[in-house]
Amino acid sequence: MPLEIVRNDITKMSVDAIVNAANTTLLGGGGVDGAIHRAAGPQLLEECRKLHGCRTGEAKITCGYHLPCRYVIHTAGPIWQDGHHGERELLTSCYRNSLELADKYHCESVAFPLISSGVYGYPKAQALKVAMDTITQFLLDHDMTVYIVVFSKDAFEVSSKLFKDIEAYIDDVYVDEHLSAPRESMRMRLQSRYLGKAKAYDAAPEPEARSTPILAPQALLDDMLNQVDESFAQMLIRMIDEKHMTDAQCYKRANVDRRLFNKIKNIPDYKPSKQTALAFAIALELSLNETKDMLMKAGFALSHSSKADIVVEYCIMTGNYDIMEINQILFKLDLQPLGY
Ligand code: AR6
């Protein structure tokens, strides 16, 4: 998945490069900076001394030493004042310059902390938005896997109204079906057992009378096999054309990487994961029925037994096709994100 939000300690990320939320001296500090220096060992500071600092919004690179990454990219984020002192532009530069440096060093995977959102006081939700927007923009013309590593889910104050609406919707749909329906069916089973009619609910239907001829000659089966429906890949390509999108626009909007997209396109019977199928439905802005159709072609269904499905259903019904926003909601609810 090109852009993924994960909850982890950034010093544990096995990627080509991790980004350090440093200060302009590059001589270490607290927070992520302190954790990175501790995990990398003293050689990191030795190399940093030779870099002669780093201006706010710029980025410099060193080796990773004892860290499980090849490089550390150090960037100095802006200190939050009131949002009217160029903080957003400077923070955007931090991400942009770090990504460009990573690309220059042929990094295929990079992990970022939420720069400036700790000691430097940048409001977490806004810091996350800058990170997501800048990284998404960069990924439009670069193939790279980028992780935003967060320590806590507090960063996800995003659209708290939307989040509340979704939680209410989950309560309505999920809780209703999971509590009321089973309780009702259990009540009926108990009642029927009590009345000696449990068989009516539990037993499999009786087979048809044996005298009925078996109507499945080879010709009928062949005929049915010749009428196999449009495949997932065929529907995907058709919808991309109908929506006047390019392949790249579609898989980038779906947060799916190019290799996986090509695999789906070139292997006619390829069955994507449910998260991938849903990601394409979102990227193509399909209606709920079209989404169900597309999922079915990959062998899945939208189910009210799954909270993740309810979230996606809610987003489709309310016209929210922003995959990053949907993934933030899924992340906050500890559910698997869309894409891959
Ligand atoms: N892994 C992932 N995220 C972390 C980790 C970790 N190990 N530790 C903290 N965070 P901060 P800043 C989160 O303060 O705001 C240093 O002293 C944390 O929850 O590290 O850019 C530097 O030397 C927060 O959301 O960086 C500078 O002087 C985010 O990482 C100054 O702090 C960034 O918090 C830079 O401040």
CATH classification of the domain holding 85: 3.40.220.10
How far is CA 161 from its chain centroid?
21
Let me know: does 19 contact 160? Beta carbons within 8 Å.
no
**Type of residue found at 207:** P
* Rounded Cα gap, residues 96 and 89, in angstroms: 10
Ligand 1 pocket check for 173: Cβ under 6 Å: no
Sheet-wide strand order for 109-112: 3-7, 145-150, 109-112, 17-22, 71-76, 59-63
33 among known catalytic residues? yes
Pair (170, 110) in one structural domain:
no
Choose between 282 and 328: higher pLDDT.
282
Q: Which parts of 87-141 are beta strand (E)?
A: 109-112
d(CA 280, ligand 1 centre) in Å: 34
Burial of 252 (0-12, 13-18, 19+ CB in 10 A): buried
Nearest CA to ligand 1 atom 7: 9
Pair (77, 168) in one structural domain:
no
Given 98, 129, 157, the domain boundary residue is 157
The pLDDT value recorded for residue 196 is 47
Ligand 1 pocket check for 45: Cβ under 6 Å: no
* Rounded Cα gap, residues 121 and 77, in angstroms: 10
Residue 335 has pLDDT above 50, yes or no: yes
With residues binned 3-state (H G I as helix, E B as strand, rest as coil), the percentages for the chain, rounded to 5, are: 50, 10, 40
Structural domain for 23, as ranges: 3-157
Let me know: does 328 contact 158? Beta carbons within 8 Å.
yes
Q: Closest ligand 1 atom, CA of 11?
A: 7
As a whole number, mean pLDDT of residues 208-223 equals 58
Pick from 154-163, 196-205, 289-298: least confident: 196-205
pTM over cut 0.85:
no
Choose between 152 and 317: higher pLDDT.
317
Residue 325 has pLDDT above 60, yes or no: yes
Pair (123, 172) in one structural domain:
no
Confidence of residue 203 (pLDDT cuts 50, 70, 90): very low
Let me know: does 127 contact 115? Beta carbons within 8 Å.
yes
Ligand 1 pocket check for 119: Cβ under 6 Å: yes
CA angle 25, 26, 28 (to 5 degrees): 105
As a whole number, mean pLDDT of residues 62-82 equals 98
Pair (126, 40) in one structural domain:
yes
The answer as to whether 219 is a domain residue is no
The pLDDT value recorded for residue 180 is 52
Percent of the residues in the chain that have a pLDDT greater than 70, as a whole number: 80
Confidence of residue 280 (pLDDT cuts 50, 70, 90): very high
Cα first-last separation, the chain: 4
Confidence of residue 229 (pLDDT cuts 50, 70, 90): confident
As a whole number, mean pLDDT of residues 62-73 equals 98
As a whole number, mean pLDDT of residues 111-135 equals 94
Site to probe by mutation for ligand 1, drawn from 25, 32, 124 as the one with most ligand atoms within 8 Å of Cβ, is 32
Pair (138, 46) in one structural domain:
yes
The region that residue 283 occupies, defined by phi over 0 for left and psi between -120 and 50 for alpha, beta otherwise, is alpha
Pair (45, 147) in one structural domain:
yes
Confidence of residue 173 (pLDDT cuts 50, 70, 90): confident
Residue 111 has pLDDT above 90, yes or no: yes
d(CA 33, ligand 1 centre) in Å: 6
d(CA 150, ligand 1 centre) in Å: 10
Pair (164, 120) in one structural domain:
no
Confidence of residue 166 (pLDDT cuts 50, 70, 90): confident
The pLDDT value recorded for residue 208 is 47
**Across-strand partners of 17?**
71, 110
Pair (166, 110) in one structural domain:
no
The pLDDT value recorded for residue 334 is 86
The answer as to whether 23 is a domain residue is yes
